[in-house]
Amino acid sequence: MSLEAMKKITEAEQDTQSRRAGAAVEAKKLVSDAEKAGRALVEQARAQAEAQAKEAMAQAESRAARRTEEILAEKRSDCDALRSAARERLPAAVELIVGRVVSI
Protein backbone atom coordinates (compact mmCIF):
# COMPACT_ATOMS: atom_id res chain seq x y z
CA MET A 1 0.00 0.00 0.00
CA SER A 2 1.37 3.39 -0.89
CA LEU A 3 2.09 6.17 1.56
CA GLU A 4 -0.54 8.33 -0.11
CA ALA A 5 -3.22 5.66 0.37
CA MET A 6 -2.26 5.27 4.03
CA LYS A 7 -2.52 9.03 4.53
CA LYS A 8 -6.00 9.03 2.98
CA ILE A 9 -7.09 6.15 5.17
CA THR A 10 -5.71 7.86 8.28
CA GLU A 11 -7.41 11.12 7.33
CA ALA A 12 -10.67 9.29 6.68
CA GLU A 13 -10.42 7.53 10.04
CA GLN A 14 -9.70 10.82 11.83
CA ASP A 15 -12.57 12.51 9.99
CA THR A 16 -14.90 9.65 10.94
CA GLN A 17 -13.76 9.78 14.56
CA SER A 18 -14.26 13.55 14.63
CA ARG A 19 -17.75 13.20 13.15
CA ARG A 20 -18.62 10.50 15.70
CA ALA A 21 -17.45 12.71 18.55
CA GLY A 22 -19.47 15.61 17.14
CA ALA A 23 -22.51 13.37 16.73
CA ALA A 24 -22.13 12.13 20.32
CA VAL A 25 -21.97 15.71 21.60
CA GLU A 26 -24.99 16.63 19.48
CA ALA A 27 -26.90 13.57 20.74
CA LYS A 28 -26.12 14.44 24.37
CA LYS A 29 -27.31 18.00 23.75
CA LEU A 30 -30.52 16.76 22.14
CA VAL A 31 -31.17 14.44 25.09
CA SER A 32 -30.42 17.22 27.56
CA ASP A 33 -32.70 19.65 25.73
CA ALA A 34 -35.47 17.05 25.55
CA GLU A 35 -35.17 16.31 29.28
CA LYS A 36 -35.23 20.02 30.07
CA ALA A 37 -38.32 20.51 27.90
CA GLY A 38 -39.95 17.48 29.53
CA ARG A 39 -39.29 18.84 33.02
CA ALA A 40 -40.73 22.20 31.97
CA LEU A 41 -43.88 20.49 30.66
CA VAL A 42 -44.24 18.48 33.85
CA GLU A 43 -43.86 21.64 35.95
CA GLN A 44 -46.38 23.46 33.78
CA ALA A 45 -48.86 20.58 34.12
CA ARG A 46 -48.30 20.46 37.88
CA ALA A 47 -48.89 24.20 38.22
CA GLN A 48 -52.02 23.95 36.09
CA ALA A 49 -53.34 21.03 38.14
CA GLU A 50 -52.62 22.92 41.35
CA ALA A 51 -54.50 25.97 40.05
CA GLN A 52 -57.45 23.80 39.05
CA ALA A 53 -57.46 22.14 42.47
CA LYS A 54 -57.44 25.54 44.19
CA GLU A 55 -60.32 26.70 42.01
CA ALA A 56 -62.30 23.53 42.70
CA MET A 57 -61.67 23.91 46.45
CA ALA A 58 -62.78 27.54 46.36
CA GLN A 59 -65.97 26.58 44.54
CA ALA A 60 -66.65 23.76 47.00
CA GLU A 61 -66.11 26.09 49.96
CA SER A 62 -68.43 28.65 48.39
CA ARG A 63 -71.14 26.03 47.85
CA ALA A 64 -70.68 24.77 51.42
CA ALA A 65 -70.98 28.31 52.81
CA ARG A 66 -74.17 28.93 50.82
CA ARG A 67 -75.66 25.62 51.95
CA THR A 68 -74.70 26.37 55.56
CA GLU A 69 -76.52 29.71 55.37
CA GLU A 70 -79.56 28.01 53.84
CA ILE A 71 -79.64 25.42 56.63
CA LEU A 72 -79.17 28.06 59.33
CA ALA A 73 -82.00 30.16 57.89
CA GLU A 74 -84.25 27.10 57.75
CA LYS A 75 -83.45 26.12 61.34
CA ARG A 76 -83.94 29.71 62.56
CA SER A 77 -87.36 29.61 60.97
CA ASP A 78 -88.10 26.28 62.65
CA CYS A 79 -86.99 27.69 66.03
CA ASP A 80 -89.16 30.78 65.55
CA ALA A 81 -92.15 28.55 64.78
CA LEU A 82 -91.50 26.46 67.90
CA ARG A 83 -91.17 29.59 70.06
CA SER A 84 -94.38 30.97 68.65
CA ALA A 85 -96.23 27.73 69.32
CA ALA A 86 -94.80 27.60 72.85
CA ARG A 87 -95.90 31.19 73.52
CA GLU A 88 -99.40 30.34 72.39
CA ARG A 89 -99.54 27.41 74.83
CA LEU A 90 -97.88 29.32 77.69
CA PRO A 91 -101.11 30.68 79.28
CA ALA A 92 -102.68 27.20 79.32
CA ALA A 93 -99.50 25.72 80.81
CA VAL A 94 -99.43 28.41 83.51
CA GLU A 95 -103.07 27.71 84.38
CA LEU A 96 -102.39 23.99 84.58
CA ILE A 97 -99.36 24.41 86.83
CA VAL A 98 -101.04 26.97 89.08
CA GLY A 99 -104.11 24.74 89.32
CA ARG A 100 -101.99 21.79 90.44
CA VAL A 101 -99.96 23.83 92.90
CA VAL A 102 -103.02 25.46 94.43
CA SER A 103 -104.82 22.14 94.76
CA ILE A 104 -101.92 20.57 96.65
Q: Where are the domains of the chain?
A: 1-73
Residue 63, pLDDT > 90, answer yes
End-to-end CA distance of the chain: 142
Phi first, then psi: what are they for 72, rounded to 5°? -60, -45
Alpha-carbon distance of 36 to 57, in angstroms, equals 31
Alpha-carbon distance of 76 to 84, in angstroms, equals 12
Digit-coded pLDDT (tens) for 19-40: 999 999 999 999 999 999 999 9
Residue 74, pLDDT > 70, answer yes
Alpha-carbon distance of 7 to 82, in angstroms, equals 111
